[in-house]
Structure 1
Amino acid sequence: MEDRPLAELFEPATRKRWRQAVEAALKGGDFEKRLVSKTADGLRIEPLYEPAASVAQPVRAPGPWRLAQRIDHPDAEKAGAQSLSDLEGGADALVLVGRDAPAARGFGLDLSAVDTLDAALKGVMLPLIALRLDAGPAGFEAAALLKQLVERRGDDPATLDLNLGLDPLGAYAAIGRLEQGWEARLSETVTAFAGYRGRVALADARPYHEAGASEVQELAAVLATAVAYLRALEAGGHDLERARDAISVLLVADADEFLTIAKFRAIRRLWARVEQACGLESTPLRVLAETAWRMMTRRDPFVNILRTTMASASAGLGGADSITALPYTQALGLPDAFARRVVRNSQIVLIEESNLARVSDPAAGAGGFEALTAELTEKAWAAFQEIEREGGIAKSLESRALAGRIAAVEQARAKAVATRKEPLTGASEFPFLAEKPVAVLEVAPSQAARSDAGLPSLRLAEPYEALRDASDAILERTGKRPTVFLANLGPVAVHNARSTFAANAFAAGGIEAIGNDGFTDTQALIEAFKASGARLACLCSSDAIYQSEAVPAAEALKAAGAGTIYLAGKPAEAEALRQAGVHGFLFAGCDLLGLLREAAEQAQG
């Protein structure tokens, strides 16, 4: 009997054989349209990659990433309680958020007195943790106060892991106002913190990401900002090595694990190019991460737990040194202790139980990640050079050139959200109109620090949430939501797919669907419609039934007083349906947001 390994009994797996199997499965379908996707930057995401050749990849210093939590309660004593609770619960890094910071979301501490910092860090042993300031335009003042606090406590500066988070150019991007003389103040602060361990300047990607920037644009803006700080410090008399060691970057991690991992790997390659151009020996760049504000939703906020966990895992796998994950209720208000615990525990599981931090670069050699990393690096370098040709990041922001490019990407993404090409679970997909309120702390937010002069801060779900908010207001005022009558034609087996699709689609706009088991008799259909009290109706059935019954059903609904009639599907011949009274068509890929806005108005008469 022949004794051969099982694998040898089959033909070798080749790309050619795989492609033949794919073509057979597609049955004539377009390979490019069906299996190849593209990022906002036009990068191709292939369905299959071969193992990649080994590429030199800068990595973070050995060990797990830091688990950081935001301290943003406006009351300093309560903020201090938050600090201790988070550290006792497993965090090993804190971010003190000032009320003037664009990322404060209407909360944050008043970082104008050293006593406030002292109270917010009461009982915290600074040498045992990492601490970052997020003070926005008040960054220089907050840094000086932190130095006073260290001196008051008598801590050894060399034992402290501090990140002052000074980012005047990031504040300019967010609020549209650039502090005069920031270069000199940055240089003076580096001098003042000589002997301290940590970083002084932070090139922060959040203003760009929140405005809608693509991965390439985010990387380019951060790199251009870091280079601007490098130049400012060199001009201030610091040698390049000291200037380089004073700079860190913060990238945004979102729920797209492939692009997030590749983006975090790419920033290290990009910075290594800068170091090489400066004649410096490469050292690990300090890369911080915060999960994306723009992916957070107010509706079905528990889905945010999945989003932030995926984002945290991706940032960690991509090589982030420290990760700050937003609690799942962040978009609803000031998160309570439970929400903070959930987001903290998610990272603890990733680090301690899943052991994701044990390998320095787990994506190494993986064809997909290596290809994306290489493409992001090259495109981001070209975008960085474009900013440099415009005079640097400050000049590009001043001329609105960068803002214009980001706006173009944001508009394309907004269209994808409106058509559900980019679905948002709980907001545009699988909405639940009867969801219960989620608890947040009873602290009223203050006015945001952003202005129209800066880049906008956007969340993808906001347009759908506005419709849901309006529906809730109507429910509270009248006891009833806007409704749509589902005019289901034929038995359940025939109409169920489209009636379910339609009910979920209308619910995304806060419009409650009135369902039924279907009708074979027009008179019964009309009686049910009149009894529903709805002004909207949506025909739901198969294409075959539409051909014979949709036109008379639409005419009967119109005659019965239906204000607006929709049809679930995309019929090839729509003119006859329109003449019969069908106003719009609901199908995968339609402008759902536009349809819902119109339907919400029509539902109210």
Structure 2
Amino acid sequence: MLINDIKQATFEKSTYEEWQDVAVKSLKGLPFEKLISKTVEGINLYPLYTEHSSRLESLDPIRDAKQRPGWTIAQQQYTDDAHSFLQSLRESIERGNESIVYDGSNPINWHDDVIIELAKLAIQYPIYFYRVSKTDEILNVFSQISGEDKKKVTGVVETEQTNLLEGFVNVRTVGADVIEAHHSGADAVTELALALAKAAHHANDIDSFKTLNEQFFVRFAIDTHFFMEIAKLRAFRVLWEALSVAYSKEDVEHIPILSETSMRSYATLDPYVNLLRAGNSAFSAILGGTDVLTVHPHDVLINPTPTSIRLARNVQLVIKAETQVTEVIDPSSGSYFIESLTKELVEKAWQLFVEIEELGGYSTYINSNAYSERLEKLYTERIESISKGTHSLVGTNVYADLGASDEKEAKLSVRNRLAEPFEKFRMLFEKDQPKIGLLTFGELKDFKPRADFISGFLATGGLETKWSSELSTVDEAIDWVNGEQLNYIIICATNKVTQELMIPLLEKLPCEITTDVAGKYDDELSKQWIEKGLNGFVYKGLDKLEKFTEILSRWKGDADIEKT
């Protein structure tokens, strides 16, 4: 075929129905619905999205609200000393940081000379002061700025002491910070609805929605569900326009979206995985259209180092330098998947917002049983999905490295952090644990898949395993068990070998040793084996945290486990 013929060649266009027929055949008897998964937001995720998928009627609310491409790098300083804060701030600005970030939940004892220097910097760089109490002396920065310089100060100050900010017309002081709700278990729908409800709450106290718009900001934590987090920020732009239309017919201007990488999925174990999580979250925030972004270091839970802080800052610098996203206002638009997610989030969040208003508004709702029960339900659903392995936290509930970190206890407390239950078991069993053996029958190729699975399963709780040699008889297994003085054994073999050896093996095993078997078997066999003394089964989808609790209870006793 000549090159000109190749250029003119076309492929016949396939329909969605034709693709679905091929997909169903590849499932070999399983229903097509096996390819559909559901998020905690109650949104179905389909294997294929097309131009016919649900999407927004217009992208104008997103593009008009963003105004300009790019975002501000907001590197937080991790220190409890005023002079160290100033020094690290200056160094970070020299190396790419673009703003002054201070978290008042960890207050610093400020000195007058540092306050004066911060005031000079505040005129040059945007400020983002979060959770600042009335008595925090960092507010004295504003008394050091006068005249026309007040107009040069931009950013956000989250405090009740707003009288000190008179004349600082470019500093926003009214906002919806939903990060606490996020860490308590909130999903994207809940976060968006809370942000709207908080805005509506403030709108009732301000003379016009336009005035609120000039003072308002919203702050989100960005988790590791890449596409959902992109859609979350895009959905907020649409929802904000809808809210402004509901309150006012006036044109409203852009309000800033502030975001930070979520620590809900961070772990103290194998902390370098947190760097991957941070990069994933940061990129989704940027594609979603964030205006200000803070990336937390991978070891922020334990003790951030100059190296980890530099790596966190460089995540943003690399994205700016390498991806060209600073050239596009809405880089994720046009993706059928993201457009569909955005629309569903808009619809579900608006529905929840209306329900919140009907219940009495923001203040009433966050103090209600309905809110606490919703967060508890969402957290429980998340932790169950991690414990059963339907959602992965690499290094925590899968691919656990028992020697990954010397320092495993978090110094920074993050409510409902998902890895924490596993970390508690890891620290507990690191001090003392039962002796666990795997009875491996047959050749290596026969038992290795199940033995690897069991070792990996138990490693997520900090439990080490010892494999037997290639066993062929029950007597060999009994001799090995007696010689190792084990507390707990798990039988690893093919289904056929397991069924042949199980009854005679159970009859000879010491009754004080807890015995499980790898895999799932039919109810009749399971009942027979349990009657003969088998404790249970270990298989994919088993609740890990429940299993670790059971192991601890059998080994230590119920009284000791309650104390633990």
Partners in 2 of 1:556 and 1:325 — Cα distance? 57
Cα distance, 1:54 vs structure 2? 5.5
* In the alignment, structure 1 residue 131 sits paired with structure 2 residue 104: no
State the partner residue of 2:213.
Answer: 244
State the partner residue of 1:435.
Answer: 404
State the partner residue of 1:68.
Answer: 74
Cα distance, 1:110 vs structure 2? 3.0
Instruction: Rate the CA distance shift 1:155–1:465 in 2: closer, same or farther, 3 A.
Output: farther
Cα distance, 1:578 vs structure 2? 1.1
State the partner residue of 1:93.
Answer: 99
Query: Equivalences for 1:392-541 in 2 at 5 Å?
Result: 392-437=361-406, 457-474=415-432, 481-541=433-493
State the partner residue of 2:62.
Answer: 58
* In the alignment, structure 1 residue 109 sits paired with structure 2 residue 59: no
State the partner residue of 1:46.
Answer: 46
SS of match in other structure, 2:310: helix
Partners in 2 of 1:314 and 1:79 — Cα distance? 29
Q: TM-score, normalised by structure 2?
A: 0.91
- Give the partner amino acid of 1:81: Q
Partners in 1 of 2:460 and 2:491 — Cα distance? 18
Instruction: Rate the CA distance shift 1:6–1:66 in 2: closer, same or farther, 3 A.
Output: same
Cα distance, 1:155 vs structure 2? 7.4
* In the alignment, structure 1 residue 161 sits paired with structure 2 residue 154: yes
State the partner residue of 1:569.
Answer: 519
Cα distance, 1:567 vs structure 2? 1.3
- Aligned 8 A contact 1:336 1:439 in 2: no
SS of match in other structure, 2:76: strand
Query: Equivalences for 1:197-276 in 2 at 5 Å?
Result: 197-234=170-207, 239-276=208-245
Partners in 1 of 2:119 and 2:357 — Cα distance? 46
State the partner residue of 1:174.
Answer: none
Partners in 2 of 1:288 and 1:66 — Cα distance? 9
Question: Could you report, residue by residue, the CA deviation over 1:102-144 in whole angstroms, capped at 9, with x for unpaired residues?
Answer: xxxxxx2336x6738627x6596223322111125x1586674
- Aligned 8 A contact 2:78 2:304 in 1: no
Question: Could you report, residue by residue, the CA deviation over 1:282-310 in whole angstroms, capped at 9, with x for unpaired residues?
Answer: 32220011111211111111100000100
Instruction: Rate the CA distance shift 1:472–1:602 in 2: closer, same or farther, 3 A.
Output: same
Question: Could you report, residue by residue, the CA deviation over 1:315-369 in whole angstroms, capped at 9, with x for unpaired residues?
Answer: 000000011111111122x311111111111111111122233211112121110
- Aligned 8 A contact 1:84 1:123 in 2: no
SS of match in other structure, 1:69: coil
* In the alignment, structure 1 residue 600 sits paired with structure 2 residue 552: yes
Partners in 1 of 2:322 and 2:225 — Cα distance? 22
- Aligned 8 A contact 1:114 1:149 in 2: no
- Give the partner amino acid of 2:198: T
State the partner residue of 1:547.
Answer: 499
Partners in 1 of 2:185 and 2:114 — Cα distance? 33
- Give the partner amino acid of 2:228: L
Instruction: Rate the CA distance shift 1:193–1:143 in 2: closer, same or farther, 3 A.
Output: farther
SS of match in other structure, 2:73: strand
Fraction of identical pairs, as percent: 26
SS of match in other structure, 1:92: coil
- Aligned 8 A contact 1:535 1:602 in 2: no
* In the alignment, structure 1 residue 148 sits paired with structure 2 residue 143: yes
Cα distance, 1:427 vs structure 2? 1.0
State the partner residue of 2:84.
Answer: 78
- Give the partner amino acid of 1:587: Y
SS of match in other structure, 2:60: coil
Please say which of residues 350-359 and 3-12 is displaced more in the overlay: 3-12
Partners in 2 of 1:472 and 1:115 — Cα distance? 47
Partners in 2 of 1:582 and 1:10 — Cα distance? 59
Partners in 1 of 2:431 and 2:352 — Cα distance? 45
Q: TM-score, normalised by structure 1?
A: 0.85
- Aligned 8 A contact 1:253 1:292 in 2: yes
Number of aligned residue pairs: give it. Answer: 547
Partners in 2 of 1:116 and 1:391 — Cα distance? 47
- Aligned 8 A contact 1:117 1:149 in 2: no
Please say which of residues 351-360 and 497-506 is displaced more in the overlay: 351-360
In structure 2, list runs of 5 or more residues that go unmatched: 558-564
Instruction: Rate the CA distance shift 1:159–1:38 in 2: closer, same or farther, 3 A.
Output: same
Please provide the CA RMSD for this pair: 2.5
Cα distance, 1:601 vs structure 2? 3.4
Question: Could you report, residue by residue, the CA deviation over 1:72-101 in whole angstroms, capped at 9, with x for unpaired residues?
Answer: 411111122221222122111232112xx2
- Give the partner amino acid of 2:33: E
State the partner residue of 1:175.
Answer: none
Instruction: Rate the CA distance shift 1:354–1:532 in 2: closer, same or farther, 3 A.
Output: farther
Partners in 1 of 2:114 and 2:250 — Cα distance? 36
- Give the partner amino acid of 2:463: I
Partners in 2 of 1:488 and 1:27 — Cα distance? 32
Instruction: Rate the CA distance shift 1:432–1:399 in 2: closer, same or farther, 3 A.
Output: same
- Aligned 8 A contact 1:294 1:459 in 2: yes
SS of match in other structure, 1:202: strand
Instruction: Rate the CA distance shift 1:547–1:439 in 2: closer, same or farther, 3 A.
Output: closer
Instruction: Rate the CA distance shift 1:223–1:604 in 2: closer, same or farther, 3 A.
Output: same
Instruction: Rate the CA distance shift 1:30–1:94 in 2: closer, same or farther, 3 A.
Output: farther
- Give the partner amino acid of 2:253: T
- Give the partner amino acid of 2:426: R
Instruction: Rate the CA distance shift 1:261–1:7 in 2: closer, same or farther, 3 A.
Output: farther
- Aligned 8 A contact 1:63 1:357 in 2: yes
- Give the partner amino acid of 1:86: S
- Give the partner amino acid of 2:540: A
Please say which of residues 154-163 and 571-580 is displaced more in the overlay: 154-163
Which one of 585, 588, 592 corresponds to residue 537 of structure 2?
585
- Give the partner amino acid of 1:148: S
Instruction: Rate the CA distance shift 1:84–1:374 in 2: closer, same or farther, 3 A.
Output: same
Partners in 1 of 2:394 and 2:39 — Cα distance? 20
- Aligned 8 A contact 2:408 2:423 in 1: no
Cα distance, 1:5 vs structure 2? 4.8
